[in-house]
Amino acid sequence: MADAAVQSDIEARLSELHEALDAGDLERTRALLGELHPAEIASFIESLPHTEREQVWELVDEDLQGEVLAHLGDEVRASLIEDMGTDEIIAATEGLDVDDLADIVQNLPEQEISQILQSLDEQNRHRLETILSYDEDTAGGLMNTDAITVRPDVDLDVVTRYLRLRRELPEHTDSLFVVDRDDHYLGVLPLADILTHDPEEPVEKVYNRQVHGIPASTPANEVATLFEHHDLMSAPVVDDQGKLLGRITVDDVVDYIRDEADHAVMSQAGLNEEDDIFAPVLPSAKTRAVWLGINLITALMAAWVIGLFQGTLEKIVALAVLMPIVASMGGIAGTQTLTIVIRGLALGQVSRHNLRWLFNKEVMVGLLNGILWALVIAAIATLWFKDPQIGMVIAIAMIINLIIAAIAGVIIPIVLKKMHIDPALAGGVVLTTVTDMMGFFVFLGLATVLLVKN
């Protein structure tokens, strides 16, 4: 109930913001923006048409601009930064966590990145360079470098006094990381153990050696799986020599999972999860035109297959009525298999050890469903057109196409992944092409052999 009340309050304030902006009351708009969390301001900016964004951005408090930029999607952030000078970017991002700063600057021109690096102190410059050296979808790209380290040969009392001297801890700190004199990672020291053990005990007798460091090159999806399986709040990231580089916290993993969910939804339409919903008309049209063109090609290929059997369709008009059913059922069945396999690949559940079993299982599922719905459509077609031969043809075609759909649904994402093509983005288009072309070919081919030539 409390969460619902908070959400209702946020929605009311955002509604009030829209009303103030529509009325041209800029002072009221500025005041309302000051009452919002940076993430809420970012959400508000993303909900505005392009022209109004710049107006609102000018009203955001300069002390909040860096955090707002960190919460914006890539496309919207880039459009705002494009109109900012390097000095403005440096001023806006001053004081940001290094991982948030990395998200903001990674797509800037090299010259601007260099100037931002020069504006940082030596420690933060090294931290930022470390993060930028890794792909954003790896453990190194997700990590923050604000980890607190301790040596194994000191007492817990020394650790406690050190923490008091710091006066504050980095966000989401649940453990300290134990390293040797050369910064090689050894294990974790949970804050709970510091509080519950004898202060005179040395760290080496208390810390947990079972929590292994995550190599910086580990893909982000594997990191997310580790956090899920082990209920982690934070985890150490190490380089190839085992030296501690930083830590990944649960909020970074949640952001990644959310982005992947957006990616899965948008990919179904051939779009990018960072696409700006309120982008200008021409850029939006250009982005979508590419996939529309690809789909047009696949549609022409299906039409070409239909054209091969033009004579058959002219003789038996009922085939034109029924043939979309075969292709549609194949498309749905194939999409079900495709989705299961893509999810399995993303979670690391599909490998060469179980691929054969999965393949056989999906083919059998396709066969059983093919037989079931073949009987149904055969009865419908026979009653509709008073011709049992048409019912027989569509029934056989249905079974064959559902088996083909199952095979394609397993093979396509595996092949695309080996080709380093995102199966979530391209799999649906390839699958639809296969099920449409094969569905039309099998149905009309069978009709030509069994109905027209008899």
Which residues contact residue 4 at a Cβ distance below 8 angstroms, ignoring those fewer than 6 apart?
A: none
Give the C-alpha separation, 396 to 277, whole Å: 45
* Res 267: pLDDT: 57
Nearest to 447 by CA among 329, 308, 328: 308
The CB density around residue 360, as the number of other CB atoms within 10 Å, is 12
Give the C-alpha separation, 128 to 146, whole Å: 11
Q: What is the DSSP string of 287-302?
A: HHHHHHHHHHHHHHHH
pLDDT in tens, 406-452: 999 999 999 988 888 888 778 888 898 999 999 999 999 998 988 87
CA 346, 352, 353, 358 torsion: positive or negative? positive
Residues of the chain with CATH 1.25.60.10: 2-142
* Res 27: pLDDT: 85
* Res 214: pLDDT: 93
Domain 149-267 superfamily per CATH: CBS-domain (3.10.580.10)
Query: Residue 327 burial by CB count (10 A; 0-12/13-18/19+): exposed, middle or buried?
Result: buried
* Res 266: pLDDT: 55
Nearest to 233 by CA among 272, 278, 175: 175
Return the CATH number of 2-142, one of 1.25.60.10, 3.40.50.10740, 3.40.50.150, 3.30.930.20.
1.25.60.10
Give the C-alpha separation, 440 to 304, whole Å: 10
The yes/no answer on whether domain 281-452 falls in CATH 2.40.50.140 is no
Residues of the chain with CATH 1.10.357.20: 281-452
* Res 36: pLDDT: 83
* Res 1: pLDDT: 47
Which residues contact residue 432 at a Cβ distance below 8 angstroms, ignoring those fewer than 6 apart?
A: 298, 331, 334
Which residues contact residue 243 at a Cβ distance below 8 angstroms, ignoring those fewer than 6 apart?
A: 179, 182, 183, 184, 185
Number of H helices, E strands in the chain: 21, 6
Q: What's the length of the chain?
A: 454
Contact in structure between 274 and 73 (CB atoms under 8 Å): yes
Give the C-alpha separation, 436 to 405, whole Å: 10
- Quick one: tokens of 263? 């990616």
Residues of the chain with CATH 3.10.580.10: 149-267
Nearest to 401 by CA among 312, 314, 315, 337: 337
Give the C-alpha separation, 372 to 415, whole Å: 30
Pairing of strands 244-249, 234-238: antiparallel
Per-residue pLDDT of the chain (454 residues; tens, 9 = 90+): 445 555 566 677 777 777 888 787 788 888 888 888 888 888 888 877 777 888 888 888 888 888 888 888 777 888 888 878 878 888 877 777 777 788 777 777 777 778 888 888 777 888 888 888 888 889 998 888 888 899 998 999 999 999 898 888 888 888 999 999 989 999 999 999 998 999 889 999 999 988 899 999 999 888 988 888 888 888 999 999 999 999 998 888 887 777 766 666 555 555 554 555 666 667 767 767 777 787 788 888 888 988 888 888 877 888 888 889 999 999 999 999 998 898 888 767 787 888 899 999 999 999 999 999 999 999 999 999 888 999 999 999 999 999 999 999 999 999 988 888 888 778 888 898 999 999 999 999 998 988 875 5
Contact in structure between 233 and 209 (CB atoms under 8 Å): no
Give the C-alpha separation, 366 to 401, whole Å: 9
* Res 383: pLDDT: 92
* Res 186: pLDDT: 93
Q: Which amino acid is present at 183?
A: D
* Res 368: pLDDT: 95
Give the C-alpha separation, 98 to 68, whole Å: 15
Angle between helices 38-46 and 62-71 (to 10 degrees): 70
Q: What is the DSSP string of 59-80?
A: HS-HHHHHHHHHHS-HHHHHHH
* Res 276: pLDDT: 58
Contact in structure between 298 and 305 (CB atoms under 8 Å): no
